[in-house]
Structures are given as C-alpha cells and as structure tokens.
Structure 1
Amino acid sequence: MKTRSQDILHGPEWANVRALYKAGGYTDKELKRPVIGIVSSFNTICPGHVIFRQMTQRVREGIQAAGGMPVEFGTIGACDGIAMGHKGMRYILPTREMIANDIEAMAQAHRLDGLVLLGACDKIVPGMLMAAVRLNLPAVLVNGGPSLPGRMKENNPYGGEYIDHSIIQQSEGALKAGLIDEEQFAWIEDHAVPTIGSCAMLGTANTMGCLAEAMGLMLPGTATIPAVYSQRLAAAYQSGTAVMELVKQNLCPRDIITKQALSNAVRVNSAIGGSTNAVLHLLAVAYEAGVDFSVFEIGEICKDIPHMTPMIPAGKYTLLDFYEAGGIPAMMKELEPFLAMEQKTCTGKTLRDNLLHAKKYNGEVIRSLEDPVHRRAGIGILKGNLAPEGAVTKPSAIPDEALYFSGPAKIYEGEEEALAGIRAGQVQAGQVLVIRNEGPKGGPGMPEMYKAMKLLVGMDLGGKVCVVTDGRFSGSNNGCFVGHICPEAAEDGPIAYLQDGDIITVDVQSGLIEAPEVNFEKRRADSPYQYRRQVNGYLYQYAKNVKNASHGAVIPVCEETETTALIPFR
C-alpha cells in the first residue's frame, strides 16, 4: 500500500528523514508502515483533558497492533469553565481555529497518513473536526468522556438527584437572593464535580462529542462513556485499530462528513436538546468540508425533530443516565425515519449497519418521537428586523411561559457591565436584557453570556427576563435567551441602535425576533454606532478576519467566490 509518508521515507535521497526518526527510536521496519498522528489536547488545567495521557498510550497500542507507526503531538485545550466571566473567555472560541491550524501544520509538515484526534470540551472537538475535513486524511476522533455527576437529592433545582458544575454559578444567584446560605453554597462547590471529565450535563463539550459520533467520525457508542470508566481506554485502543482500516480503504473525512451527515447531526442535536454552540461549530465544519450549509437550513431541519431527552439543563438527567440508556446509537435508532441511513462512517460501514443492534434501556431518558419531552425542537433559529441574518435560541431550555416574550430593552455595552447591573439589582422582571458588542468581531472572540444567565436563573428571573445578545451562551444555560444576533453590533447591525425602553418581541415558536416600533435605518443615519474595543495580539488578527456567527465565526482559509469549494490537502 503506497502512502504519502513514503514520499519522504523511501530511497537514498530521504535518508536524512529516516535518520531523524531513528534518532527517536523508530526502526526500519516501522518506517515502512503508514505513519499515523495521534493528536492530543492533554493538559492538567482542564479536567476534561487529564485522561488523555492514558488514552494516547492505548491509541498507540491499537495503531501498532493494526500495522501502523504512531507518532504523537499535542495541541492546546482551554477550559471554558475556568475562562468564564473574565477577559479570558474572549480567547476560547478563537482557540478553535488555532487547533485546526496546529493540526494542519503538523500533518502537512510531516506528511502523515492518518490521524487519531483526542479532544474534549467545547472548542477542542470542533477544532479537530475542522482540521480533519480540511486535511481529508483518514481520521477517527475519540473524546475524553463526561465526568460523573455530583449527587444532591434535597432541594435539587433540576428536579432529580444529580448535579454538575453548572449549578455553582446558578447557586451564586440563589445565595445573593437569600435562597441558600453560605454553608450550602460551599457544599455545592465541593461536591458538584467529583471526577475528571467534561462537565456531566449536556453542555457544548458533550454535545459536540455526541454530534461527532452522529456524523460518523467517532466509533458508535463511545461519545458518552464516562471519563473514569475502563471502556474509555478500550475505545481509545479500538480507535487506533479503526484508523488503520480507514487508511487501507482510503476512506476519508469528506467521504463521511457530507451534507447528509451534517443534517443527521442537526437532527440529533435537536432531539437531545444540545448546545446552541453546535450551530456555530456545524457551520464551521461544513465550511471546511466545502459543504453549502446555512443557519436557516439548520432551523428548517430542526423543526421536524422534537426534544426527546431531558438532560441538564433542560431536565433532570445527566450524560451518565444517557450513556446507561443507550447513548447516541439508541437515540439515532429512535430518529431512524428522519436520518440519512446510508452514510458511511469511520467503522467502514454505513450508519444503518452500525445501528442494527442499537438498544434503548430507559424510555424516560430517551423518549420516543410519539412521546417527546417537548413537541418543540431543541434548537431554534430566529429572524426579524433585529436579526436579519439570524439568531439562535434553545426552545428546549426555555420555560413554557417565556416562549413568547415582549418587554422594554435594558441595554448594556458588554458582559462586565451587564454582570454589574444584575448584581446591583438594576434588571427587573419583564425586561429584555440586551448585551451587545460581544460578537466574534466586537468581543472580540464571542464570549459566552453564561454568568449573566445563570445569575438571573439563580435569582428566580430566568423566565421573567429575556437575555438578547450578539454574543453566545453556554450549553449549560437555561431560561429565556437569544444569542448569535447577526449582524452583530461591531458590523453595524441593528442591535447597535437599540435604546433603553425599546420594545423587543421574541416569539420562539414563530421564529421571530423584532423591535417592531424601531426604524433602524433612521437611527443609523442620525447617529452612527461608535463603540469599539481596543485589542492587540491574536485577538486583533481574529477580529480583523473572522466572519459573523451565521457563517460559523470562521476565519476564511481560501479566496472566496460564489463557487468556492475547499480543496482538501493530499
């Protein structure tokens, strides 16, 4: 089998390359095998990534057993939870592009033949998916798995017996409102996150792991295995053997991640009630794959798929419950009438073949199409004079009484100002809290308005105040919220011209977001928007080049024309 690594490993003219590998302990026999990169985001900052030191060893063993030569390298993996609510959050979404670029550079510089990608947490998995389809080398992704949840049976705000990291910020609001005391607050801090792994609820980290599996680039049933379970190491080994089979078949990511596979992922995300951030990431993966896919198509696809799994923050269950109920294979089996079943996957088989033996073990955790948690979709795309290029919301996490919300605007120029206003009691029930200049360009970096929403929920205002922003939200947020307003304020979008007291109407079920009485063109002509943050370093380059949220917040990687289709590297 001729592989591209042999272009620089065969013949006397490439003795210098072989010598460098031999300096690292590789043998002549190994240098005749396909060279497979093991990409890991291991670090000891983010608890979702600690497991990768063990997992990379198991992947290495799987590759070797299947006849490959494994080589390892690392990439960054920042923790959203640690970066939340301060200037560091502006760097989190931009790391997605950094990760994709890192992997591209290493794979191309060393003519690797395939990749096993080990990532966890919010931007790492999508960054790796983007790299996989950009390079189009045989690849398998394996995530680090969710943490086990904490247990709190009494006064559990989610209604079950489990809690996770997201309860902590919500509890700050409850502490401020006098609903819990300092001792209870300290207990929650100490018991909410009992193990390593990505956060135990259905945040962006676990959402993207689930969607990578749904798209076929992760082995079936592996996305939801808890980080501390031995099966997680077995999945790493199996991923190492699987990539070698893909190399033999020359089955590449663009054969797997097609428009139909992306549509499958959108449907799964709606059914599980996944993160709003998935919209950004699926659009970015589509862009890198050369697939024409729009935010409004996502909205249309979602409409047919009800919310079927009540996981935190939209229910009482966790990823542990979902895993034990059958995970993504069981959910996809329920959705079979809506899915493109002939899609190829990283097993070398079709989705239909992969799901032949899928079983559901708990009908309360994974509901049926006939008996969903909510008839409404898990994700909604809105449009109107406030967001002519679209906005994103999460109907599954919005209280019934707040699905239609109309009220006067309370404007804040950024997250810090909004948090100070909420903590000072400036935000009242019935208002629409507008946080602007937090988009990809204006933030820059499109930080999450996680803390603002959590504080409001903890103060019992989650369904009584609607938060509207050109920033984004965490997958763990619940309450009434709309993010990804496009165009953003920094693009001179309508949100820049809202004023305190303007009536804003959000009609989730009709897909509408409007300020019906505002003439935005007149305001723009009368007083052009001036607000802009001064930034330097990487964020300067990011703000200068990034597209808006309805285009996936991507940084273009080729010259754009109407007929542009990215050409994969080979």
Structure 2
Amino acid sequence: MTELRSAQWYGGDGRDAYIHRAWMRRGLPDDAFTGRPQIAIANTASDLTPCNRHLDEVARSVRDGVHQAGGVPLELPALSLGETQLRPTAMLWRNLAAMATEEMLRGNPVDGVVLLGGCDKTIPALLMAAASVDLPAVVVPGGPMLTGTFRGTPLGCGTDVWRLSEEVRAGTLSRDDFTRSESAMIRSKGHCNTMGTASTMGLLAEALGMVVPGVAGTPAPDSRLLAAAHGTGRLAVELVAADRRPSTVLTRASFHNAIVALAAIGGSTNAVVHLLAVAGRLGVELTLDDFDRIGSRVPVLVDLLPAGRFLMDDLHRAGGLPAVLREVRDLLDPTALTVTGRPLVEYLDDAEIWDAEVIRPRSAPLVEEGGIAVLRGNLAPRGAVIKPAAASPELLRHRGPAVVFDSIEDLHARIDDPDLDVTAGSVLVLRGCGPKGYPGMPEVSNLPLPAKLLAQGVRDMVRVCDGRMSGTAYGTVVLHVTPEAADGGPLALVRTGDVVSLDVAARRIDVEVDDAELAARSPSRATVDGYARPVRGWERLYVDHVLQADTGADLDFLLGSSGSEVSRESH
C-alpha cells in the first residue's frame, strides 16, 4: 500500500506533526497515527432533518466496523438539509452542502470516507462532494421508515399528504379527519416510504456502485441496516488499501445503469438533476438526452406509490433493488464496478422476486415504457422532463389554453378564485420557479388544482413549470423547463389564453404562437417582479453562478473534480 494521505499530517518528528498528533491523541494509542487509515464518517444527522436523526446510531455501527478493520473512525458532521423544514427550498442548499463537505474532506487528515445520508438532498450532496475530492468513499443510505396506517389504510409519505389535502379542498374529507391522519403518517425513524427522491437516490447510489449491493432500501429501523453499516465501516478501510476511489466506480457505465434503474423503479424526476450534477463533478459526459435514450422505454417494474400501490418496506421484503435489476439485466452495462471491486451484475445471480405484486416480472410490467421522457419544443428549447408513469394516460397528448401564474405567490392568490377562467382542459403554467428565479428550483411544479374543478371531480390537469416537483407527487406535470423564465427562456413570454400543446410520444411541448410574434414579446412587469434578487450571502452567490437544470443546476465554478490535494500547507 502506498503511503497514507494522513501521513502528510502525522508523519515525522517535526513541529507540525507534533501539533497534529498531540491535538488528536485524546486517548488514542500511539499506533493510531502510524499506518492506520483515518476514515471520516460524514454524518448528516440533525434534529432539524427528521429523516436523518437516526444516523448517529448508524454512525456508531460504522465506527465499530472501522475499528475492527484496523482503521481510525472520525465522525465529521456534514451540513444537513431537512426537506420538510428548510426554507425557501432545500435544493437551494444542495450545492453548499456539497461544497462544504468537499472542502472539509480535502482540508482534514483523512484517507477515506463513509457517507451517511437519507433525506432528499443529502445523498446527492455527499456524492457530489466525494466525486470532487475523489478520496475512497462509500455510502450508507439511512433507509425508509415503516408504513403507518390510518383507519386501516397504509399511508404513503408525501403522496398521501398531497392526496388528502386535495380531498379537503374538494370537500370530500373533513379537516378534522385530515388532522387526525397526521399522527399516523410518520410511523418510525427513516425517510419517506414512497418512491420519492430520498428512496430513489438511496437506490440509485447502489445502482451507481457506491453502496454495498443489497443494502439500499433496508428500512431504517431494521437491525440489518446496522449490520450493513458495520460491514461498510470495514469496507472503507479496504477501499483505502486498494486505493479504490469514486472515479473508478462512477463511470459512464455506472450512470447508464443508474438511468435503467431509475426507470425500472419508477423513480423521482429529481434524480435527473442530481445524476447530472454528480456526473458534472467527475467530468463524465452525461446529458439530458441520455435519460430518454437509455431509460424512457424501460418498463416500470416496481408497484410503489406514487405510480403504484405499495411502499418501501414492501419493496425490501419483495427482493429489493437486486431483484428489480435482475429483470432488466440485459439492459445494464456489465462493465460497471461497485465499491467492492466487483461488477454490479455479479450481485444479481442470486436475486429473486418474493412478491410479484410488488416487483413485477419483466413479462408483466406496471407500465410498459415508464422512464423519464425528455421533451423539447419552442417552450423548452433545451429540454423539459415528464414522468409518464405518474401521469394520466389520456393527458399525455393534449392541447389547451394556458392559465399563467407569474410566481408562487400569484398562484396562491388566484388558484381558488371562483372567477378564475379555467376548465379541466386548460394548461396551468407556473414560471419564476427555476434555479435563478426562485431561487433554488422548488418542488412546486405539481400545482394544486383549482378548487372549483376539484369539486367537479377533476383530479389531474396538464401543468407546465420551470421548477421541480416532489418525488412523492403525481400528475401530468411537465417540469424542469429549460431555459427557465428568469434565464431568458420562452416560458416568460407565454400569455394566458395561448394554446399549449403536449405530445409525449412525439417528445414535444410547444406554445402555438408564431415564432416572430413570440420573439417580439417581452416578459411582463409582473413576471420580472417575481424573480429573486438576493443582495448578499449564499443566495447571491447561488443566483450569480447556478447553471440550468439540463446540466444539473450546479454552480459553474464547481464543475470537474479538484482532487484531494490541499493547495497550501499550514503552520
């Protein structure tokens, strides 16, 4: 094994080495600083990130594994992003969390890292950081919660919040009953139990090769998660000895496999921006079109909310991700490696489906072609995405007059106005919600339907937005419209009454306005006034440097890997 990176701090008998050892000793034995890998445990546990609170317990199991394998475990608190708590939107802080973790890994005497994440943005941020610093790294996903029930019916986190709240607005559910369901929604520790972004990114981290195969999706309260965390701590020491880095695992082949997995599990559209951002940190050529080319015609095999019926603990008992991937093995790139050093496909031989209702066989998919579809047209010159599996089939080809909202505030002020000129055939358009415009690209694209239409029994409409939507959400939603309105995109020029045409089969989203007329238009004052204009702090830095959704909404100066070398020596 080559000299450990940490020896740059601890090796020798000079003053600097003395300082580094003395301040870190604190009960450690003398040999802690001579030849024993220093393993950071990047831990996103926080009381304000309820989905990640249990990661302190997971970290203890990782520590035990690192110790057993001869390493020195060092817990490193990482910036934590609570999806349900953080305003204005957790996505605004993903790049900051990635940058902070990258710099702490680079600046400290560590040889490898175990990444502990769960809630939506934490695993993407940790992967981005690991890709940038390129030290040996492995992920332990925190896992989903157990399923709660209300009046005998299973509750899906997020998805049933949207569903029940719409029923209240429609007058078919009392507000008292809605409130009673609140205490049953979150049954245990862990992240959302639907196929939302948290579940999706945990599973995709495994499909990318960054999780020990078979671990992702293990429920948070399951004792097997702690056993896996212990084993992962041992593996982290092995990664350092083998010099197995993210750049050897996160190859184009692994991103190919992640896109196949995203489609087969019916995963969140948010995975598109996260995978693009991780690839950008590595210099891997990945484009929006790859998601359509590789994944759009992959069958959805997992029958989970929001696209299906079951929940994450059902997926785990039914065979988990390996059972899903075995069904689409012929679509995977067999060259992609995992953190264990073995190809991902080698772990599929013994996988089995134990419940064919939850994981459908390839011969009887939930949706024949349900992967992410990429749309283009004069409304989205650089692309937009839609998740057909979560949409209403009859709306996948639709024409209707636009009802335009210039901001989220405008939407909230007018959506339930009984005089709003809207029908079930209208297309709801919301702008000013992209990376720059909001800022942070919030999960608002699944606009609430007008109350008067809900009362008529309408439960879906075509919606178009430059923001994102929760992975737990559903509906015929065209989102990530690029360029966004605030970046000069044509979405800023659409007017109420313009006819919007959606044709998913043809991969088109257009506004039926003559090109010359569209070019002659300018954004309205209300549109421009709705854009964010931060004057200081992170929001200012973000708006000045954030890229568009089609490349992952990272900051322009963070593209590419910077490696683990520190630019200046201390003392």
Task: Give the TM-score taking structure 1 as reference length.
Answer: 0.93
1:317-332 pair list within 5 angstroms? 317-332=310-325
Equivalent-residue separation in structure 2 for 1:57 and 1:517 (angstroms) = 60
Structure 1 position 455, deviation (Å): 7.8
Structure 2 residue aligned with 1:449, among 436, 444, 460?
A: 444
Q: Which residue of 1 aligns with 2:496?
A: 500
Say whether residues 1:41 and 2:44 are aligned partners: yes
1:1-400 pair list within 5 angstroms? 1=1, 2-13=3-14, 14-22=17-25, 24-32=26-34, 33-83=36-86, 88-90=87-89, 92-152=90-150, 161-400=154-393
Q: Which residue of 2 aligns with 1:490?
A: 486
Distance 1:470 1:212, change over 3 A: same
Distance 1:412 1:488, change over 3 A: same
Distance 1:348 1:301, change over 3 A: same
Equivalent-residue separation in structure 2 for 1:389 and 1:461 (angstroms) = 35
Query: Residue type matched to 2:532 in 1?
Result: R
Deviating more after overlay: 194-203 vs 143-152 = 143-152
Provide the secondary structure at the position in 1 that maps to 2:91. Answer: helix
* Cα contact 1:62–1:240 (8 A) shared by 2: yes
Q: Which residue of 2 aligns with 1:568?
A: 563
Distance 1:524 1:535, change over 3 A: farther
Provide the secondary structure at the position in 2 that maps to 1:297. Answer: helix
Structure 1 position 463, deviation (Å): 5.3
Structure 1 position 525, deviation (Å): 3.3
Structure 1 position 44, deviation (Å): 1.1
Structure 1 position 464, deviation (Å): 4.0
Say whether residues 1:515 and 2:511 are aligned partners: yes
Structure 1 position 163, deviation (Å): 3.2
Deviating more after overlay: 334-343 vs 167-176 = 167-176
Equivalent-residue separation in structure 2 for 1:204 and 1:460 (angstroms) = 31
Deviating more after overlay: 133-142 vs 363-372 = 363-372
Provide the secondary structure at the position in 2 that maps to 1:25. Answer: coil
Distance 1:106 1:411, change over 3 A: same
Provide the secondary structure at the position in 1 that maps to 2:336. Answer: coil
Equivalent-residue separation in structure 2 for 1:153 and 1:341 (angstroms) = 46
Deviating more after overlay: 444-453 vs 371-380 = 444-453
Equivalent-residue separation in structure 2 for 1:491 and 1:452 (angstroms) = 21
Structure 1 position 509, deviation (Å): 2.1
Query: Residue type matched to 1:504 in 2?
Result: V
Equivalent-residue separation in structure 1 for 2:549 and 2:458 (angstroms) = 24
Amino-acid identity (%): 35
Structure 1 position 459, deviation (Å): 6.1
* Cα contact 1:414–1:436 (8 A) shared by 2: yes
Question: Alignment RMSD, CA only?
Answer: 2.0
Equivalent-residue separation in structure 1 for 2:226 and 2:435 (angstroms) = 37
Structure 1 position 336, deviation (Å): 0.5
Equivalent-residue separation in structure 2 for 1:74 and 1:458 (angstroms) = 45
Query: Residue type matched to 1:114 in 2?
Result: G
Query: Residue type matched to 1:430 in 2?
Result: G
Q: Deviations over 1:501-539 (max 9, x none)?
A: 0000111222110112343x5444343565033223311
Distance 1:528 1:477, change over 3 A: closer
Structure 1 position 353, deviation (Å): 2.2
Deviating more after overlay: 319-328 vs 186-195 = 186-195
Distance 1:233 1:453, change over 3 A: farther
Task: Give the TM-score taking structure 2 as reference length.
Answer: 0.93
Query: Residue type matched to 2:40 in 1?
Result: G
Structure 1 position 424, deviation (Å): 2.9
Equivalent-residue separation in structure 1 for 2:307 and 2:162 (angstroms) = 16
Q: Deviations over 1:335-379 (max 9, x none)?
A: 100001232111221112222222211112111222111112231
Q: Which residue of 1 aligns with 2:569?
A: none
Query: Residue type matched to 1:41 in 2?
Result: T
Provide the secondary structure at the position in 2 that maps to 1:225. Answer: coil
* Cα contact 2:41–2:114 (8 A) shared by 1: yes
Provide the secondary structure at the position in 2 that maps to 1:48. Answer: helix
Equivalent-residue separation in structure 2 for 1:11 and 1:261 (angstroms) = 40
Equivalent-residue separation in structure 2 for 1:20 and 1:518 (angstroms) = 70
Provide the secondary structure at the position in 1 that maps to 2:125. Answer: helix
Equivalent-residue separation in structure 2 for 1:567 and 1:541 (angstroms) = 20
* Cα contact 2:446–2:475 (8 A) shared by 1: no
Provide the secondary structure at the position in 1 that maps to 2:368. Answer: strand
Q: Which residue of 2 aligns with 1:533?
A: 532
Provide the secondary structure at the position in 1 that maps to 2:213. Answer: coil
Provide the secondary structure at the position in 1 that maps to 2:92. Answer: helix
In structure 1, stretches of 5+ residues that fail to align are none
Say whether residues 1:548 and 2:545 are aligned partners: no
Equivalent-residue separation in structure 2 for 1:397 and 1:301 (angstroms) = 19
Equivalent-residue separation in structure 2 for 1:228 and 1:93 (angstroms) = 27
Say whether residues 1:434 and 2:429 are aligned partners: yes
Number of aligned positions between the proteins: 553
Structure 1 position 260, deviation (Å): 0.8
Structure 1 position 461, deviation (Å): 6.8
Structure 1 position 164, deviation (Å): 2.7
Structure 1 position 226, deviation (Å): 0.8
Deviating more after overlay: 495-504 vs 528-537 = 528-537
Q: Which residue of 1 aligns with 2:568?
A: none
Provide the secondary structure at the position in 1 that maps to 2:143. Answer: coil
Q: Deviations over 1:214-233 (max 9, x none)?
A: 11101111111111111111
Equivalent-residue separation in structure 2 for 1:78 and 1:312 (angstroms) = 23
Query: Residue type matched to 2:73 in 1?
Result: P
Structure 1 position 182, deviation (Å): 2.7
Q: Which residue of 2 aligns with 1:411?
A: 404
* Cα contact 2:315–2:358 (8 A) shared by 1: yes
Query: Residue type matched to 1:330 in 2?
Result: A
Structure 1 position 556, deviation (Å): 2.2
Provide the secondary structure at the position in 2 that maps to 1:17. Answer: helix
Provide the secondary structure at the position in 1 that maps to 2:447. Answer: helix
* Cα contact 1:401–1:463 (8 A) shared by 2: no
Query: Residue type matched to 1:28 in 2?
Result: D
Equivalent-residue separation in structure 1 for 2:442 and 2:514 (angstroms) = 27
Query: Residue type matched to 1:489 in 2?
Result: A
Equivalent-residue separation in structure 2 for 1:464 and 1:236 (angstroms) = 42
Distance 1:458 1:334, change over 3 A: farther
* Cα contact 2:446–2:469 (8 A) shared by 1: no
Query: Residue type matched to 2:425 in 1?
Result: G
Structure 1 position 566, deviation (Å): 3.7
Deviating more after overlay: 92-101 vs 451-460 = 451-460
* Cα contact 1:9–1:17 (8 A) shared by 2: yes
In structure 2, stretches of 5+ residues that fail to align are 566-571
